[in-house]
Every structure is written in structure tokens, then in C-alpha cells.
């Protein structure tokens, strides 16, 4: 009876249509996942390869003589913990600054009516398409006159004034979520004697937790991976962030006297540096990914 039912199902055109569509989706998603995961797996595998594995054409994925020496060399030669300290300070400070300042600006655009509001909001959106390279020269001249070159302040200070990396996107996110809040919140607070800033800090901001989490995490990750601005303002090796050290890893490895300047020697250490740079963000995302996904959905970010 069961075999007859299964045979009849095979003869039905809808079965083969659904089967073909399911097979196509499986092949498509498998291909996309492979394209995304392959570089990470390749780098991770290469970071454990010894010199003999690198020159052995039969060693592809699994090293025959795995070693942790590449990670030890990477930590020592690029001064990993100095870079980690600089990157952590920069990323956390910028994330805090952008989370607070962009919330204040977004709240103003969402809840207040004032002259030239549309024009100013249009200018803010225009900032989204202005690349940092376009305004880098005047910013360098300003911060140089203030004696802030080769410090983290040229990247941290703008974040507290709504001018940090990709702040326009964060302001737009806050504006969207504040615009959807009922006016009754503010009216009830005014009747209780609350001022504008107290309403923002005590009522509106706690109800914008999804946007706060989204902005904070995006800012943290983007500033962690940022290369252009640290390269523009930081000059000495001691102040370099992890992204800068990763770019200059060949120079760090070969600058010592007596080190073999062979790419076969350098590549595994470079791979180890890549893993060390992205590892903190991977661990961080693994811890907060559930909260992050929920916040992205509730804040209305799509596509």
C-alpha cells in the first residue's frame, strides 16, 4: 500500500516540480556558502602549515606537520597585543560616541519641527555618499594644528559629535525608530514636568534598545576593520591598529636581521595574523549574535 502511494506520488507533475525547485535552491545556497566560507577555511588551514607543508604539493587542506609557531611569530613580530589594545580603545570609544551622538541627532530629526529641517536631513543623507578620502586633507590639517596627529583622537572626537565613520547611516536608523514611537509618550512626560532632554534620556532612549544595539555593534565592527583613517592619522608603529599591522605584516616579519625573506616563510605567518585579527570579532559575534539578529529585525534594517 505504501509502495503504491509512493509510486503514484512520483507520477504526479507537482512532485517533480517541487523536487526540482528544492534541488536548485540546495545547489544555489551550497555554492554561495562555499564561496563565503572557502577563503576563511583556506586561511585557517594555511596558518597551521609548517615550512615543509608549504613546499609539499600534496599538502592542500590538512597540514601533515601542523605547528603553532606561525601564531607565536605573528604575535611577537607584529606586536599583536599592542595593536589589540589600540584597536580595542579606538573601536569601543567610537562605538560609545556614535551610539550616543547619533541617537541625539536622530531624535531631533524625528520628533522636532524646525526651519530647514528637510534641507539639513538631505545634507545628512548626502554625507552617506561622501567618501572619507574626499575630506581627509582638511581634517588632517585641522588635527595637525591641534597637535593630535599620531594619536587616536582624530577618530574618536568626531564620533562624539555625530561625524564618525558612517554616522549618517546610524542617524537614519535612529530617526526611523524614533519616528514610529507614539506622541503620547512625550505628552504624558510634559504633563509630569519633564524637560526635553529628560524625556529623551528617560523615556525615548530606553524604548530604542533595538536601534542602540544595532548601531553599537555595527560601529564596533566597522571601526575594528577600518584601515583608511588609522593609516591617515597614525604614523609610529606603536600606535598602529591591528588592521594597519596586518597590511604591513611583511615589513614587520622581514625587518629583523637574519630573517629569511621567503614568501613560503611569510605566507603562513600572514595567515596567522589574519586569524588573530578577526578572532576577537568572531568570538564577540558568537556571544551576541542572537541579540544582534533580533535588534536588526526590530530596527527595520533590510537588504
Q: What is the pLDDT of residue 2?
A: 58
What's the CA gap between 170 and 132, in Å, rounded?
Answer: 16
What's the CA gap between 284 and 273, in Å, rounded?
Answer: 18
Secondary structure, 3-state, the chain: CHHHHHHHHHHCHHHHHHHHHHHHHHHHHHHHHHHHHHHHHHHHHHCCCCHHHHCCCCCCCCCCCCCCHHHHHHHHHCCHHHHHHHHHHHHHHHHHHHHHHHHHHHHHHHHCCCCCHHHHHHHHHHHCCCCHHHHHHHHHHHHHHCCCCCCCHHHHHHHHHCCCCCHHHHHHHHHHHHHCCCCHHHHHHHHCCCCHHHHHHHHHCHHHHHHHHHHHHHHHHHHHHCCHHHHHHCCCHHHCCHHHHHHCHHHHHHCCCCCCCCHHHHHHHHHHHHHHHHHHHHHHHHHHHHHHHHHHHHHCCCC
* pLDDT tens, residue order, the chain (303 aa): 455 665 666 566 666 667 777 788 888 888 888 888 888 888 898 889 888 888 888 888 888 888 898 899 889 888 899 999 999 999 999 999 999 999 999 998 888 888 888 888 888 888 778 888 888 888 899 999 998 999 999 999 999 988 877 888 899 889 988 888 888 878 888 887 888 888 888 888 888 888 888 888 889 999 999 988 999 999 888 899 998 888 888 777 766 545 555 677 788 888 999 999 999 988 888 887 776 666 655 555 543
pTM assigned to the model: 0.82
Domain ranges of the chain: 2-46, 77-299
Q: Is 237 exposed, middle or buried (0-12, 13-18, 19+ CB in 10 A)?
A: middle
Q: What is the pLDDT of residue 256?
A: 58
Name the one residue in this structure whose C-alpha cell is 541627532. 105
Q: What is the pLDDT of residue 296?
A: 59
Task: State which fold the 77-299 domain adopts.
Answer: MetI-like fold (1.10.3720)
Amino acid at each position: 500500500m505504501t509502495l503504491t502511494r509512493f509510486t503514484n506520488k512520483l507520477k504526479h507533475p507537482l512532485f517533480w516540480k517541487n523536487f526540482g525547485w528544492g534541488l536548485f535552491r540546495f545547489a544555489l545556497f551550497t555554492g554561495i556558502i562555499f564561496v563565503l566560507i572557502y577563503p576563511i577555511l583556506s586561511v585557517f588551514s594555511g596558518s597551521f602549515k609548517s615550512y615543509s607543508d608549504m613546499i609539499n604539493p600534496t599538502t592542500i587542506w590538512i597540514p601533515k606537520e601542523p605547528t603553532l609557531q606561525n601564531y607565536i611569530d605573528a604575535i611577537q613580530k607584529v606586536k599583536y597585543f599592542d595593536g589589540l589594545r589600540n584597536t580595542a580603545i579606538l573601536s569601543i570609544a567610537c562605538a560609545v560616541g556614535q551610539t550616543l551622538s547619533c541617537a541625539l541627532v536622530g531624535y531631533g530629526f524625528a520628533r522636532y519641527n524646525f526651519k530647514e529641517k528637510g534641507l539639513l536631513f538631505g545634507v545628512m543623507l548626502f554625507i552617506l555618499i561622501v567618501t572619507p578620502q574626499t575630506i581627509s586633507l582638511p581634517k588632517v590639517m585641522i588635527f595637525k594644528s591641534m597637535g593630535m596627529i599620531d594619536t587616536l583622537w582624530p577618530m574618536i572626537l568626531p564620533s562624539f559629535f555625530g561625524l564618525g565613520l558612517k554616522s549618517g547611516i546610524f542617524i537614519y536608523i535612529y530617526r526611523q525608530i524614533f519616528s514610529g514611537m507614539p506622541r503620547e509618550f512625550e505628552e504624558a512626560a510634559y504633563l509630569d514636568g519633564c524637560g526635553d532632554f529628560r524625556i529623551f534620556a528617560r523615556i525615548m532612549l530606553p524604548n530604542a534598545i533595538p536601534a542602540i544595539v544595532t548601531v553599537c555593534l555595527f560601529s564596533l565592527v566597522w571601526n575594528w576593520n577600518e584601515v583608511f583613517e588609522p593609516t591617515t592619522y597614525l604614523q609610529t608603529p606603536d600606535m598602529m591598529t591591528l588592521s594597519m599591522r596586518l597590511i604591513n605584516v611583511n615589513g614587520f616579519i622581514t625587518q629583523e636581521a637574519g630573517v629569511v625573506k621567503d614568501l613560503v616563510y611569510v605566507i603562513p605567518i600572514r595567515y596567522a595574523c589574519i586569524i588573530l585579527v578577526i578572532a576577537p570579532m568572531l568570538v564577540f559575534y558568537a556571544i551576541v549574535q542572537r541579540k544582534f539578529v533580533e535588534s536588526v529585525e526590530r530596527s527595520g534594517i533590510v537588504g
